[in-house]
């Protein structure tokens, strides 16, 4: 039972607001010591785990890349591009991205979108730019946050309901594994096919919400 002391340390450390990295490190050392491992062995295991799973740190390279692109004017270019499209509205921009996100996720291309790499630097400025034309009043901070929230929601809904249409995605395999535990054998393709009505319903429902967003924005002072 002493091996589980690390869990107690984590709970107490998080409750006291101690630095998470320090709490997790101390918890690992405590559990390892209870299991009979010394500090050198613990450090070796941590290093080995990091090397074996080093590919998990690759997405962090997107953060400085996006930061450099934003500093170079990516957000401004996206906003200016939509301003030149006279028939573009906030709802239409987000509806187009919702369709694109859902279709690409259904094809297994789940990394083509995301809040960091798409919504913040491109989609949200485009949605704001559609409402920041010369003949429209300036956006209030609350309205700007409302548009950004809808941009994030379009990404979430498109990704969540689109990925279930791809047979090799983790959620499909998880559903299949859970059903097999209860003696129900299903093919991944069957699960993906039955996810189509839900994906269509999600697109229609959120599409109506985006069109209603345009109506609310037209009535703003």
- Give pLDDT tens digits for 74-132: 889 998 999 888 888 999 999 999 999 999 999 988 888 889 889 999 999 999 999 88
Model confidence at 210, pLDDT cuts 50, 70, 90, reads very high
Residues 6 or more apart whose CB falls under 8 angstroms from that of 189 comprise: 167
Give the closest residue to 1 by CA, choosing from 39, 36, 34, 41: 34
Q: By the 8 A CB rule, do 40 and 54 touch?
A: no
More confidently predicted of 193 and 200: 200
pLDDT beyond 80 at 11: yes
Model confidence at 53, pLDDT cuts 50, 70, 90, reads low
What value does the mean pLDDT of the chain take?
87
Max CA-CA distance within the chain?
72
Sign of CA dihedral 14, 16, 18, 24: negative
pLDDT beyond 90 at 46: no
Q: Which of 17-21, 157-161, 201-205 has the lowest mean pLDDT?
A: 17-21
CA–CA gap between residue 145 and residue 159 (Å, rounded): 21
Assessment of whether the complete model's pTM goes beyond 0.85: no
Model confidence at 55, pLDDT cuts 50, 70, 90, reads low
CA–CA gap between residue 208 and residue 33 (Å, rounded): 58
What pLDDT sits at residue 157?
Answer: 95
CA–CA gap between residue 174 and residue 179 (Å, rounded): 9
- Which residue's structure tokens are 């297994």? 108
More confidently predicted of 205 and 55: 205
Give the closest residue to 128 by CA, choosing from 97, 89, 166, 175: 89
Model confidence at 209, pLDDT cuts 50, 70, 90, reads very high
Domain segments of the chain as ranges: 2-52, 63-218
């Amino acid at each position: 039972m002493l091996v589980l002391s690390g869990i107690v340390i984590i709970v107490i450390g998080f409750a006291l607001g101690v630095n998470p990295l320090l709490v997790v490190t101390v918890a690992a050392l405590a559990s390892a010591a209870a299991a009979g491992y010394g500090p050198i062995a613990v450090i070796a295991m941590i290093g080995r785990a990091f090397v074996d799973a080093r590919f998990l740190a690759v997405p962090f390279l997107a953060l400085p890349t996006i930061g450099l692109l934003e500093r170079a004017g990516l957000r401004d270019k996206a906003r200016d591009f939509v301003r030149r499209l006279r028939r573009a509205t906030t709802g239409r921009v987000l509806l187009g991205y919702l369709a694109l996100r859902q279709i690409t996720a259904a094809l297994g291309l789940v990394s083509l979108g995301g809040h960091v790499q798409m919504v913040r630097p491109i989609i949200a400025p485009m949605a704001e730019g559609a409402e920041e034309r010369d003949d429209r009043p300036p956006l209030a901070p609350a309205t700007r946050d409302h548009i950004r929230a809808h941009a994030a929601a379009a990404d979430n809904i498109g990704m969540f309901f689109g990925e279930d249409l791809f047979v090799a995605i983790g959620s499909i395999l998880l559903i299949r594994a859970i059903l097999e535990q209860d003696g129900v054998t299903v093919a991944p393709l069957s699960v993906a096919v039955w996810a189509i009505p839900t994906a269509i319903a999600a697109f229609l429902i959120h599409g109506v919400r985006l069109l209603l967003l345009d109506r609310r924005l037209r009535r703003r002072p």
